[in-house]
A and B are shown apart, each in its own frame.
Chain A
Amino acid sequence: MVISTNFPDMQRQTDRAPPAGNRPRPVLEFRDVTLHQAGYHVETLRDLTFSVNESDLMLVRLEEGRDHLPLASAVQGLIGPERGRVLFDGEDWETCSDPENERRRARIGRVFNRQGWISNLSIMENVTLAQRHHSSTPEDELRRRAVRWAQRFHLEAIPSVRPAFVPVSERRRLEWVRGFYGEPRLLLLEQPMDGVPEDFLPSLMEGVDHMRENQVAVVWLTEHDDVWQRGDLTGARRYIMRGSILQAAEEVSR
């Protein structure tokens, strides 16, 4: 069964599209970054240098069993690098003030590697939390937008119960809703297909394509062969984690 869908809401973002012929701007840059393990993250990463421009898709293949990387947290400036610089939208996380960084983080949609829910809030409250916090959009409108995204990922509705009462595969797709919703500048997907039947992969990929058409940069971390081996990831730049080093896939295959 192939599940497909449309995303008309994202067309609103084409108003922000740069004039044709302009080079896409870098949304995320890592400059010679070394990240040491901290807390939950048990790996050290060294000498990371890459940039992700608007509409780019950066696909990173993780080694099996080594998915507790500090990479996603460093992308969001939640942990600082031991060496090097991490820039989001041209600004270094370390040089901006805390309130400014909070506003910038709200522009990053993220699907977490592990539990990504606030357990004492309902699913709807979780999905709309960042938008309710950072914007003054009426709650009814926020709920309507969230429900439209949910329908595009083939969810009937957004439950009003707490996350513990929702099945895992449905909960994972609800995380997609939270990540995609809110017009992010960067979409960070950490193993989004974990616990989700393969049938839903096309709908996720269509969502990713739509985000890219709207100048959203996408970073996708995966252990799964079925994602890595897909040939229809147009223009994806592929990388492989080897221990603490990130290598471009072309380098690995030489």
Chain B
Amino acid sequence: MQVTRDDKLLSGRIRRAQRLQVALLNLLDRLGLSVIRRWVAVSNQFAVIWTVLKLALQGESWPRTTRSVFVRQLLFTGVDALPVCVRVAVAMGVMVVVQSELWRREIGGAFSVLESMVWTTTVRELGPLVANLIVIGRSGTAMTTELANMSLSGEVEVLDSQGIDPMKYLVMPRILSTAISVYCLGVLIVATIFASGYLMAFLLNVAGGPGPFFSRMSELATLEDGVFFTAKTLVVGLFVGAICTTEGLRVQRSTTETPVVASRSGVFALTAVFVTSALLSLIFYQRVLLIPVGELFRF
């Protein structure tokens, strides 16, 4: 049978289509694997946090050795971060007030128009976000590095061989101290932003006396703000602690893995902060960006 020119063209098209199909399937395969890996990683973090919370409620999980580790971690993650939190919060307070005043002059009206916006932005977004970022940068990567070195040098086995569960001795106190530190530092940051912001507003001659200012702040505070703030600090802090500890303990073979996991844990923790904050915002505001969730599903 003779092979015509048309036959050759057709077989060429079929081969190209097959190659395209294989390429698309490979791409879908990689995407699927990537999604599955991320899903497994997120599920692992949930499992670690759940286990830690269950252990924390059991009295036998808190012998004096574990309590000592918990206190040391609180000192390192929370107390030692106070100076940098104050410095950052003072600067942020000044920036918030300056920006608010600039916009107030642009749109007109009294400063009190922007009070509610400044309050909500600071309590619900800025304060928790800055607290998490400082803890990740200062303590999270250090925790990952410390645990990675312990894992590599066999110290985790040394603990195991003495009948000391590394989960209760190393992981649980670190995760809990991270969450508590983020919460407490968040409170400090919010208070310092308002204090330094008020001072700047006073210097700009746009603020009244301190009494009316702080009584106005207390009027603006709602239960919802408290719940939102607590979720964005405690819950997100648990994830930051879980990521930084578990990444460190994964190191098995070589010291060259240590800087890689330290860097990776910082990136994962940062991602978790933003993603968790966005999800919490979604739950509380029931909006995706500015669109109510109900409207999204109308079509």
Residues on A lying within 8 angstroms of B by beta carbon are: 39-40, 73, 76, 78, 98-99, 101-106, 108, 110, 112, 114-120, 129-130, 132-134
**CB-based nearest A residue for B72:** A120
Question: What's the minimum C-beta distance from A201 to chain B, rounded to whole angstroms?
Answer: 24
Chain A residues with Cβ below 8 Å from B137 are none
Report the separation of the CA atoms of residues A110 and B60 in the bound assembly, to the nearest whole angstrom.
Answer: 25
The main secondary structure of chain B at its interface with chain A is helix
Report the separation of the CA atoms of residues A239 and B160 in the bound assembly, to the nearest whole angstrom.
Answer: 27
Report the separation of the CA atoms of residues A55 and B253 in the bound assembly, to the nearest whole angstrom.
Answer: 38
**Pair B164/A102 contact, Cβ less than 8 Å:** yes
Chain B residues with Cβ below 8 Å from A40 are 154, 157
**Pair A78/B157 contact, Cβ less than 8 Å:** yes
Chain A residues with Cβ below 8 Å from B160 are 76, 78, 105
Q: Which of B64, B66, B163, B165 has the most CB of A within 10 A?
A: B163
**CB-based nearest B residue for A128:** B65
**CB-based nearest B residue for A132:** B65
**Pair B154/A129 contact, Cβ less than 8 Å:** no
**Pair A119/B155 contact, Cβ less than 8 Å:** yes
Question: What's the minimum C-beta distance from B66 to chain A, rounded to whole angstroms?
Answer: 8
**Pair B146/A129 contact, Cβ less than 8 Å:** no
Encode B227-256 as 1/0 by CB contact (under 8 A) with A. 000000000000000000000000010000
Report the separation of the CA atoms of residues A201 and B162 in the bound assembly, to the nearest whole angstrom.
Answer: 25
**Pair B163/A116 contact, Cβ less than 8 Å:** no
Does B184 interact with chain A (Cβ within 8 Å)?
Answer: no
Chain B residues with Cβ below 8 Å from A78 are 157, 160-161
**Pair B163/A104 contact, Cβ less than 8 Å:** yes
A-B contact pairs, 9 of them (CB 8 A): A76-B161, A105-B161, A110-B161, A112-B158, A115-B154, A132-B65, A133-B63, A133-B162, A134-B63
**Pair A117/B158 contact, Cβ less than 8 Å:** yes
**Pair A133/B161 contact, Cβ less than 8 Å:** no
**Pair B146/A132 contact, Cβ less than 8 Å:** no
**CB-based nearest A residue for B149:** A119
Does B91 interact with chain A (Cβ within 8 Å)?
Answer: no
Does B188 interact with chain A (Cβ within 8 Å)?
Answer: no
Question: What's the minimum C-beta distance from B64 to chain A, rounded to whole angstroms?
Answer: 6
Report the separation of the CA atoms of residues A39 and B64 in the bound assembly, to the nearest whole angstrom.
Answer: 31
Instruction: Report if A133-B65 is in contact (Cβ < 8 Å); known contacts: A76-B161, A102-B164.
Output: yes
**Pair B165/A102 contact, Cβ less than 8 Å:** yes
Question: What's the minimum C-beta distance from B47 to chain A, rounded to whole angstroms?
Answer: 16
**Pair B164/A133 contact, Cβ less than 8 Å:** yes
Does B118 interact with chain A (Cβ within 8 Å)?
Answer: no
Report the separation of the CA atoms of residues A103 and B165 in the bound assembly, to the nearest whole angstrom.
Answer: 10
| A-B residue pairs, 5 tightest by C-beta | A105-B163, A106-B163, A102-B163, A130-B162, A133-B65
Chain B residues with Cβ below 8 Å from A101 are 163
**Pair B163/A134 contact, Cβ less than 8 Å:** yes
**Pair A73/B164 contact, Cβ less than 8 Å:** no
**Pair A119/B161 contact, Cβ less than 8 Å:** no
Report the separation of the CA atoms of residues A57 and B213 in the bound assembly, to the nearest whole angstrom.
Answer: 79
Does B117 interact with chain A (Cβ within 8 Å)?
Answer: no
Chain B residues with Cβ below 8 Å from A114 are 154
Chain B residues with Cβ below 8 Å from A133 are 63-66, 162-164, 169
Does B159 interact with chain A (Cβ within 8 Å)?
Answer: yes
Does B34 interact with chain A (Cβ within 8 Å)?
Answer: no
Question: What's the minimum C-beta distance from A102 to chain B, rounded to whole angstroms?
Answer: 4
Q: Which of B63, B64, B161 has the most CB of A within 10 A?
A: B161
**CB-based nearest B residue for A98:** B165
Residues B53-92 near A (CB distance < 8 A): 60, 63-66
Encode B35-61 as 1/0 by CB contact (under 8 A) with A. 000000000000000000000000010
**CB-based nearest A residue for B64:** A132
Report the separation of the CA atoms of residues A106 and B162 in the bound assembly, to the nearest whole angstrom.
Answer: 5
Residues B136-171 near A (CB distance < 8 A): 146, 149-150, 153-155, 157-165, 169
**Pair A120/B146 contact, Cβ less than 8 Å:** yes
Chain B residues with Cβ below 8 Å from A129 are 65, 162, 164
Chain A residues with Cβ below 8 Å from B164 are 102, 129-130, 133
Chain A residues with Cβ below 8 Å from B60 are 99
Question: What's the minimum C-beta distance from B119 to chain A, rounded to whole angstroms?
Answer: 42
Report the separation of the CA atoms of residues A209 and B162 in the bound assembly, to the nearest whole angstrom.
Answer: 23
Which of B150, B169, B252 has a CB less than 8 Å from the CB of A119?
A: B150
**Pair B159/A118 contact, Cβ less than 8 Å:** yes
**Pair B64/A103 contact, Cβ less than 8 Å:** no
**CB-based nearest B residue for A100:** B163
Instruction: Report if A108-B63 is in contact (Cβ < 8 Å); known contacts: A115-B153, A118-B155, A120-B146.
Output: no
**Pair B158/A116 contact, Cβ less than 8 Å:** yes
Which of A39, A99, A103, A108 has a CB less than 8 Å from the CB of B161?
A: A108
**Pair B163/A130 contact, Cβ less than 8 Å:** yes
Chain A residues with Cβ below 8 Å from B63 are 132-134
**CB-based nearest B residue for A104:** B163
Instruction: Report if A39-B252 is in contact (Cβ < 8 Å); known contacts: A118-B155, A129-B65, A133-B63.
Output: yes
Question: What's the minimum C-beta distance from A14 to chain B, rounded to whole angstroms?
Answer: 25
